[in-house]
Structure 1
């Protein structure tokens, strides 16, 4: 990674954090890394930043993952990040999960009624 690229990454992260008014600790906790690591990134003292950490920082700071990766000197695979869901998993939205949980909840309620009836001899 060239010195120019490193300085661009440090400045990008520092400026984004400043725009949010977030502390180093808040950003680090949300991104899932140490405060010291974020500080080193902002000071351009990390030669090869972790793509996983960069993805967490991009999400936390509201930056495009592809931009962060390319600024860090990587070829950005996508703007989704390394933990993006597979196409099969992406088909399921939160609405599907809520619907499934609600149906399970009604099934559990029916089972409880049946158990109570059986216990009472009914």
Structure 2
């Protein structure tokens, strides 16, 4: 991949796995349009999060995609082993539920603090 662009590498891996843009996008956690833009080298600096998702979806080394995207390699950091399913994807509804739970917990903490301050 050193001479290949990021887009060429993604497109080749997708074709090798027989995956559609939609399938890669779902597995990587981004839109099919964004995957297409990446394949056409129309994205200047894709985020490391997207690259991690693509690496997992396509079975490519993350550091290789990062290098192809122009990120400097971390010479001292070891490459983490591939862990299928290590990247969790949450729906917006799930994220909203988590945020609501955090808000309830924060309200309970504030109430407890207010009660503690009044008692003293």
Fold shared by both chains (TM-score > 0.5): yes
Deviation above 2 Å: which 4+ runs of structure 1?
Answer: 76-81
The corresponding residue for 2:39 is 42
Superposed CA offset, 1:9-51 (max 9, x none): 0000000000000000000001000111000000010011111
Q: How many residues align?
A: 78
Unaligned runs of 5+ in 1: 86-122
Give the TM-score normalised by the residue count of structure 2: 0.59
The corresponding residue for 2:116 is none
The corresponding residue for 1:23 is 20
Q: Which of the two has higher C-alpha Rg?
A: 1
Q: CA RMSD in A?
A: 2.3
Give the TM-score normalised by the residue count of structure 1: 0.58
More helix by share: 1
